[in-house]
């Protein structure tokens, strides 16, 4: 494959295992699989819709950067940078806003659901909506279009944003010719919405997540909290349940097969949880060690990000030259 791949991650908290299987790992695999350029970046200005405390944002950025490196992001193959180090993205965003139908943004899920919440609570629909939230998909479109991207691997929840991006690029191209490359989205379907401890989608807002890099004893505690039914250890169990689904992510094929048989014969939930801990910790612990190294040696990470931003600025500058020319701005 010789495609340009890009994905962004919004730093708003520590990564959980849903992020790992749904976003981080597929993005790294794709970045490694392409011969073309690949871009991975920390979308720190996207966090501003909710994170207003500078020190927290810094911490989140640091955490996400270390997480991606610990998970195996190869910075020789991928350009890794902070969005806020690449001003061309924001210039492009403000231009693209003029090619974006307001109705397109009215239909964006995140915005719509906040408005719906307000309506349901009987308060003004604009309550709690800042323009940054409304404009969020435009900024995301600029993140992508600045780099002539072919593929954007994301979780299901981001699909609409990539479609909006493609729409914006088409509107721009309809007027100015083939200036912007229209991207495709790739969704990693099987793990797109990994359920959390309680069976609902794993998400910070539900408080049902298993953090990727907590200590071993915390990991054990989280696993104990996974909701199971009240069947007895001797009862045969269906593999169509939350804990088996999580087990499958960490275990080898033959371990999964063995576990499925034990489910049929009857197995106690406590035993399943112990086995899950073993396979989960086996996969996580080498990454956890790297993560701790990067957190304690952040100056190395900082260097990588600054190098990445240099390259990202060069590429985005080229796109902006094309764009500025066709819209009639100063070149
Ligand atoms: N909105 C994405 C999220 O919340 C993060 C993101 C920002 C992104 N810009 C992007 C993802 C560009 C893919 C491409 O997860």
Query: How far is the C-alpha of 169 from the C-alpha of 258, rounded, in Å?
Result: 50
User: Quick one: pLDDT at residue 196?
Assistant: 83
Is 268 strand, coil or helix?
Answer: coil
User: Quick one: pLDDT at residue 297?
Assistant: 98
Compute the distance from residue 224 Cα to the ligand 1 centre, in Å: 32
Higher pLDDT, 154 or 39: 39
**Is the pLDDT score of 191 beyond 70?**
no
Is 140 within 8 Å of 170 (Cβ atoms)? no
User: Quick one: pLDDT at residue 83?
Assistant: 98
- Any idea which residue has 């909710």 for tokens? 50
**Cβ < 6 Å from ligand 1: which residues?**
6-10, 43, 46, 140, 143-144, 152, 154, 158, 161
Query: How far is the C-alpha of 160 from the C-alpha of 271, rounded, in Å?
Result: 41
Probe residue for ligand 1, chosen from 7, 8, 166, 183 as the CB with the greatest number of ligand atoms within 8 Å: 8
Query: How far is the C-alpha of 66 from the C-alpha of 288, rounded, in Å?
Result: 10
Phi and psi dihedrals of 38, rounded to 5? -135, 140
Query: How far is the C-alpha of 331 from the C-alpha of 324, rounded, in Å?
Result: 6
Average model confidence (pLDDT) for the chain?
Answer: 94
pTM of the model: 0.91
Average pLDDT over residues 229-251: 94
Distances (CA, A) of 187 to 62, 104, 114: 26, 21, 24
């Amino acid at each position: 494959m010789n495609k340009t791949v890009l994905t962004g991650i919004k730093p708003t908290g520590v990564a959980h295992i849903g992020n790992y299987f749904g976003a981080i790992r597929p993005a790294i695999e794709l970045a490694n699989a392409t011969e073309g350029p690949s871009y991975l970046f920390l979308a720190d200005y996207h966090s501003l819709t909710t994170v207003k405390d500078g020190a927290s944002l810094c911490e989140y950025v640091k955490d996400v950067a270390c997480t991606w490196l610990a998970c195996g992001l190869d910075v020789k193959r991928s350009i890794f940078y902070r969005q806020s180090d690449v001003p061309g993205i924001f210039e492009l965003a403000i231009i693209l806003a003029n090619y974006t139908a307001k109705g397109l943004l009215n239909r964006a899920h995140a915005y719509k659901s906040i408005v719906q919440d307000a309506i349901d609570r009987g308060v003004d629909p604009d309550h709690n909506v800042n323009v940054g939230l409304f404009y969020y998909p435009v900024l995301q479109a600029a993140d992508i279009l600045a780099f002539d991207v072919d593929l954007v691997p994301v979780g299901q929840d981001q699909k609409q944003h990539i479609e909006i991006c493609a729409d914006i690029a088409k509107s721009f191209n309809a007027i100015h010719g083939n200036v912007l490359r229209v991207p495709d989205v790739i969704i990693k379907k099987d793990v797109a919405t990994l359920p959390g401890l309680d069976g609902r989608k794993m998400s910070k807002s539900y408080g049902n997540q298993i953090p990727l890099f907590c200590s071993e004893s915390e990991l054990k505690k989280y696993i104990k909290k996974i909701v199971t039914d009240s069947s007895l250890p001797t009862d045969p169990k269906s593999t169509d349940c939350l804990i088996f689904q999580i087990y499958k992510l960490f275990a080898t094929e033959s371990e999964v097969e063995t576990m499925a048989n034990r489910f049929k014969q009857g197995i106690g939930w406590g035993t399943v949880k112990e086995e899950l801990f073993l396979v989960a910790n086996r996969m996580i612990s080498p990454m956890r060690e790297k993560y701790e190294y990067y957190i304690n040696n952040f100056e190395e990470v900082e260097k990588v990000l600054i190098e990445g931003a240099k390259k990202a600025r060069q590429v985005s500058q080229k796109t902006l030259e094309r764009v500025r020319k066709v819209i009639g701005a100063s070149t």
